[in-house]
Amino acid sequence: MLSSKKKYIVNGNSGIKAQIQFADQKQEFNKRPTKIGRRSLSRSISQSSTDSYSSAASYTDSSDDETSPRDKQQKNSKGSSDFCVKNIKQAEFGRREIEIAEQEMPALMALRKRAQGEKPLAGAKIVGCTHITAQTAVLMETLGALGAQCRWAACNIYSTLNEVAAALAESGFPVFAWKGESEDDFWWCIDRCVNVEGWQPNMILDDGGDLTHWIYKKYPNMFKKIKGIVEESVTGVHRLYQLSKAGKLCVPAMNVNDSVTKQKFDNLYCCRESILDGLKRTTDMMFGGKQVVVCGYGEVGKGCCAALKAMGSIVYVTEIDPICALQACMDGFRLVKLNEVIRQVDIVITCTGNKNVVTREHLDRMKNSCIVCNMGHSNTEIDVASLRTPELTWERVRSQVDHVIWPDGKRIVLLAEGRLLNLSCSTVPTFVLSITATTQALALIELYNAPEGRYKQDVYLLPKKMDEYVASLHLPTFDAHLTELTDEQAKYLGLNKNGPFKPNYYRY
C-alpha cells in the first residue's frame, strides 16, 4: 500500500474563553482552527473519514467519501431530514449490526421487556453524547421503548460506526455523527442536538463531559428544566466534581463511572480483551517478548497489564497512587518512572485520565518504531499537539495509524492520534457494554422519576441495590445460580435477604 507523506504546518489558534474553566480543557475546549477550513482540517489531520482500509473501520461507501455530511441533503424513508450521518443508505447494514448486538445484551433487552408497559421515561427528553456503536444503539432504542425522546451526538470523532448511525437515523432518531469528524464538526453536531426549536432536553447522558460543558457554555438557561446528568467517564466525572466543588453544578448528577458494574466490568474486563484487539488490528504485531509500559494501574490499567502479561509481554507500570502501585507490585509488575524505561520499551499505553502523561520529551527519546496509544477517555494524555511541527513528517499508513518521522529517520507509530484506542481502532465486547448500558438506563430512570428533594445539586453514586440488580440480570446468561441466605444467616449478618449485600464503603 502506497502511503503519502505530508508535513504539518503550525497555524495560529484562536481560543474561545469558556464560562466554566476545567483543569484539562486546554486541548479539548479552547483550541479552534482559524486558518484551516472545515473540510481541509478533516482531511489534513484526521483523514479517517476517507480511510476504510482497516478491518476495524466502519462500512463506507467510497463513492461519496469526498463530501462532508454537513454538505449533503439526506432524508430517511419517512421523509425526515433531522439528522446528519455519513450515508443514510447504509441503514440496512447497520440494522443487522444492531440486531447482532441485541443477542449479547440480555439485561438491556430484559429491561426493555419488563419496563416497556410502564414507560418510566415517558416525557423524558434525553440529549446524549456517547460513542455511537451498535451497543449504544441498543441503549438508545431501549430508552425510546421506555418512553423517552432522544437526540444524539458522538463523544469521539473516530468511534462512530457510520452504518449504525444511519440505521438510527432511518428509525427516526435525530443522530448527528460520523466517523472522522473534524473538531469543528464535533461541536457543530453537539449544537445541533441541543439547539432545536420547539424541543428542549430535560435529561443529559454524557460520556466525557463535552455535552455538559457545551450547554453550560452556550445555553445555561436550559438547566432550569434539566432534571439530571448521567456521566460515565473518568474525565466527565472529574469535571462534574469540579463544578460541584465550585458551587456551579446546577442539577443532580449520577456518577456511573464509579459504580461497581462500570468499574469492575467495563473498565477491567472490557479493556483486558479490547487492548489486544486494538493493537493487533492496527499493527499486526506479536506480543510475546515485547517490552510494554502501562501508565496507570486503575481498573483499565489492570485489564491491559493482565492481557499483555498473559501474551508473554514484559510489562512495566507507572503510578502516582501508592495503593495502586503496591497492587501492581503484588501482581508481579515492575513499578518504574516513565523516564527510566522510555528508551527501551516497544509499546507505551496511557490510561490515567490525566493530561501530558507522555510529553514531547518522552516522544523524542523513544526507540525507533515504538508504538504509542491511549486507553483513557480523553485525548490529552499524549501530547500529540507537540508533534505537529514543521520538522516532523506524518505518514498515514492505514486508518488510525500514523508514522511520525524525525529528521534522523526515527519514527514512532501513533494510534488514533492519541484518542481512545479500542473504540477508535477495533471493537469492544458487547456483553460487557450491556452491563454499562443497563446501569446508564437505570440511572436515567432513577434521576428522572426521583421526587423533588431526593437529590440535591451534587454528584451521586448509584445506589448499591441498583448495582446488584444490574449484575443479577446478567447471571442467567451463564446459567448461574445464586445461593440464598436463610433467615438465621440474614439475621446474623444484619442483612435483608434480598440485598443490598454489601455496605457502600465495601471495596469489591
Q: Are residues 394 and 276 in the same domain?
A: yes
Least trusted range by pLDDT, from 13-22, 140-149, 280-289: 13-22
Least trusted range by pLDDT, from 121-125, 167-171, 413-417, 428-432: 428-432
Is 501 part of a structural domain of the chain?
no
Span 326-336, average pLDDT: 98
> How far is CA 67 from its chain centroid?
26
| pLDDT bucket at 50, cuts 50 / 70 / 90 | very low
Cis upstream peptide for 500 (omega within 30°): yes
Ranges of beta strands (E only) in 319-382 are 334-335, 347-350, 370-374
The answer to the question of whether 235 is labelled as a binding residue is no
Confidence at residue 49, expressed as pLDDT on a 0 to 100 scale: 32
**CA pair distance 485, 478, nearest whole angstrom:** 21
**CA pair distance 128, 260, nearest whole angstrom:** 22
The answer to the question of whether 266 is labelled as a binding residue is yes
Q: Are residues 291 and 168 in the same domain?
A: no
Q: CA of 116: how far to CAs of 106, 141, 434, in Å?
A: 15, 11, 18
Q: Which domain holds residue 91?
A: 70-258+428-478
User: One-letter amino acid identity for 199?
Assistant: W
CB distance 46 to 157 below 8 Å? yes
Is 394 part of a structural domain of the chain?
yes
The answer to the question of whether 300 is labelled as a binding residue is yes
As to burial, measured by CB atoms within 10 angstroms (0-12 exposed, 13-18 middle, 19+ buried), residue 420 is buried
Confidence at residue 57, expressed as pLDDT on a 0 to 100 scale: 38
Side by side, the strands of the sheet bearing 459-461 are 175-176, 149-154, 125-130, 203-206, 228-231, 253-255, 459-461
Residue that terminates a domain, selected from 418, 436, 458: 418
The answer to the question of whether 278 is labelled as a binding residue is no
Is 490 part of a structural domain of the chain?
no
Q: Are residues 339 and 405 in the same domain?
A: yes
**CA pair distance 205, 442, nearest whole angstrom:** 12
Handedness of CA 28, 29, 30, 33 (dihedral sign): positive
The more confident residue out of 232 and 305 is 305
The more confident residue out of 50 and 399 is 399
What 8-state DSSP symbol labels residue 147? T
Q: Which helix (H) or strand (E) holds 413?
A: strand 411-415
As to burial, measured by CB atoms within 10 angstroms (0-12 exposed, 13-18 middle, 19+ buried), residue 375 is buried
Q: Are residues 285 and 311 in the same domain?
A: yes
Q: Are residues 287 and 200 in the same domain?
A: no
The answer to the question of whether 136 is labelled as a binding residue is no
Is 13 part of a structural domain of the chain?
no
Give strand pairing partners of 293.
316, 348
Is 329 part of a structural domain of the chain?
yes
pLDDT tens digits along 422-452: 888 888 889 989 999 999 999 999 999 999 8
Is 180 part of a structural domain of the chain?
yes
Closest CA to 388 of 110, 7, 57, 2: 7
Q: Are residues 241 and 273 in the same domain?
A: no
Q: Would the pLDDT of 53 be above 80?
A: no
What Rg value do the Cα atoms of the chain yield, rounded? Answer: 23
Percent of the chain with pLDDT over 90: 75
Residue that terminates a domain, selected from 418, 442, 469: 418
Q: What is the DSSP string of 267-290?
A: IIIIHHHHHHHHHHHHH----TT-
Cell, residue 186: 464535533
Q: Are residues 238 and 271 in the same domain?
A: no
Cell, residue 322: 501508592
Confidence at residue 27, expressed as pLDDT on a 0 to 100 scale: 40
Which residue bears the cell 453524547?
129
The answer to the question of whether 302 is labelled as a binding residue is yes
Q: Are residues 334 and 374 in the same domain?
A: yes
The answer to the question of whether 468 is labelled as a binding residue is no
Q: Are residues 210 and 273 in the same domain?
A: no
Q: Are residues 129 and 174 in the same domain?
A: yes
The most confident of the ranges 27-41, 146-160, 262-276 is 146-160
Give strand pairing partners of 32.
14
Q: Are residues 285 and 187 in the same domain?
A: no
CB distance 69 to 160 below 8 Å? no
Confidence at residue 117, expressed as pLDDT on a 0 to 100 scale: 82
pLDDT tens digits along 358-411: 999 999 999 999 999 999 877 899 999 999 999 999 999 998 999 999 999 999
pLDDT tens digits along 105-116: 999 999 888 877
What is the CATH classification number for the domain harbouring 105?
A: 3.40.50.1480
| pLDDT bucket at 5, cuts 50 / 70 / 90 | very low
Dihedrals φ, ψ of 430, to 5°?
-60, -40
Percent of the chain with pLDDT over 70: 87
Confidence at residue 35, expressed as pLDDT on a 0 to 100 scale: 38
Contacts of residues 466-470 at CB distance under 8 Å and 24 or more positions apart, as own/partner, are: 466/259, 466/439, 466/442, 467/259, 467/260, 467/261, 467/439, 468/499, 468/500, 468/501, 469/442, 470/107, 470/261, 470/435, 470/438, 470/439, 470/442
Confidence at residue 506, expressed as pLDDT on a 0 to 100 scale: 85
Report how many domains make up the chain: 2
Is 404 part of a structural domain of the chain?
yes
User: One-letter amino acid identity for 357?
Assistant: V
pLDDT tens digits along 61-98: 444 467 899 999 999 999 999 999 999 999 999 999 99
Span 297-317, average pLDDT: 97
What 8-state DSSP symbol labels residue 29? I
pLDDT tens digits along 461-508: 988 889 999 999 999 999 999 999 999 999 999 999 999 999 888 888
Closest CA to 292 of 253, 347, 227: 347
Residue that terminates a domain, selected from 383, 418, 453: 418
Average pLDDT score over the chain: 87
Closest CA to 177 of 205, 195, 155: 155
What is the CATH classification number for the domain harbouring 364?
A: 3.40.50.720
Q: Would the pLDDT of 24 be above 80?
A: no
Span 31-45, average pLDDT: 37
pLDDT tens digits along 215-258: 999 999 999 999 999 999 988 999 999 999 999 999 999 999 98
Please enumerate in sequence order all residues whose Cβ is within 8 A of that of 351, keeping only pairs 6 or more positions apart, or say none.
271, 294, 295, 296, 298, 300, 301, 304, 374, 375, 376, 381
CB distance 367 to 343 below 8 Å? yes
- Cα 457–Cα 461–Cα 467 angle in degrees, nearest 5: 145
The answer to the question of whether 232 is labelled as a binding residue is yes
Confidence at residue 65, expressed as pLDDT on a 0 to 100 scale: 62
Q: Which helix (H) or strand (E) holds 473?
A: helix 464-474
The answer to the question of whether 299 is labelled as a binding residue is yes
Q: CA of 11: how far to CAs of 145, 217, 275, 393, 417, in Å?
A: 47, 25, 34, 16, 18
Q: Are residues 84 and 226 in the same domain?
A: yes
Q: Would the pLDDT of 349 be above 60?
A: yes
CB distance 83 to 175 below 8 Å? yes
Cell, residue 471: 449484575
